[in-house]
A and B are shown apart, each in its own frame.
Chain A
Amino acid sequence: GQQLNQSPQSMFIQEGEDVSMNCTSSSIFNTWLWYKQDPGEGPVLLIALYKAGELTSNGRLTAQFGITRKDSFLNISASIPSDVGIYFCAGQLSGSSNTGKLIFGQGTTLQVKP
């Protein structure tokens, strides 16, 4: 099935460092969403993007919807220990056959060393 290629798969960084992760696809998406998931919990929405080129921030997080509509990135500035978790990108393709259906990347596991 359709997949999103998310990278890197994992990151181990020092507290205070900036983090960048991205998702790419061969298909065009009309929505990009970024989620964070803690162990045993559901994904929590961080940022939603709806237009090509859109750049949106949420505190120390910044995400962009790629101009080609085939990619998106998420940056975290000045990381702190509570940023630890798994980050997922998710996108929605256009068309009625994709209604209500998000396609997810494989996730980026972030570990932060105090």
Chain B
Amino acid sequence: KAGVTQTPRYLIKTRGQQVTLSCSPISGHRSVSWYQQTPGQGLQFLFEYFSETQRNKGNFPGRFSGRQFSNSRSEMNVSTLELGDSALYLCASSPWTATTDTQYFGPGTRLTVL
């Protein structure tokens, strides 16, 4: 079974621009979570989608948004980029049940904001 895929793998943007990152989950997984990883803050939860609905959101400004499509693929968007948004953005898919949530991560998108 193919793993989680993320595109693009690397991205360079300038301050004020916006960016869209894409994530394709493992086949059959309906839950997709997004995380930001930085050296200073570690791995921080952004949001989670299940069946095209955002079920949970982390403590990030409204510039960070996402969506999920009917095939479970997900995108996240960051508008008005700031230098501090430079990070590795990871998505994780899960077969999620009411009692277990085992998340499998993609390789990440390395975003650099200049």
Give the B-binding residues of A (Cβ under 8 A): 1, 30-31, 33, 35, 40-45, 48, 50, 88, 90, 92, 96-107
Contact = CB atoms under 8 A, between A and B. Distances in A.
A101 B58 contact: yes
A1 B108 CA distance: 23
Given A99-B48, A100-B96, A101-B56, A31 B107 contact: no
A30 B104 CA distance: 18
Interface of B is mostly: strand
A9 to B, nearest CB: 12
A106 B50 CA distance: 27
A107 B105 CA distance: 16
A42 B4 CA distance: 10
Contacts of B110: 40
A43 B56 contact: no
Contact of A50 (B35, B100, B108): B100
Contact of A102 (B45, B59, B107, B108): B45
Interface residues of B, number: 30
A45 B96 CA distance: 15
Contacts of A33: 102-103
Contact of B42 (A41, A45, A100, A106): A106
Residue of A98, A99, A100, A103 contacting most chain B CB atoms (<10 Å): A100
Contact of B33 (A45, A88, A102): A102
Contacts of B59: 1
B90 A101 contact: no
B45 A43 contact: no
Q: Which of B31, B43, B49, B107 has the most CB of A within 10 A?
A: B43
Contacts of B56: 97-101
Contact of B101 (A31, A43, A97, A105): A31
Contact of A99 (B42, B55, B92, B104): B55
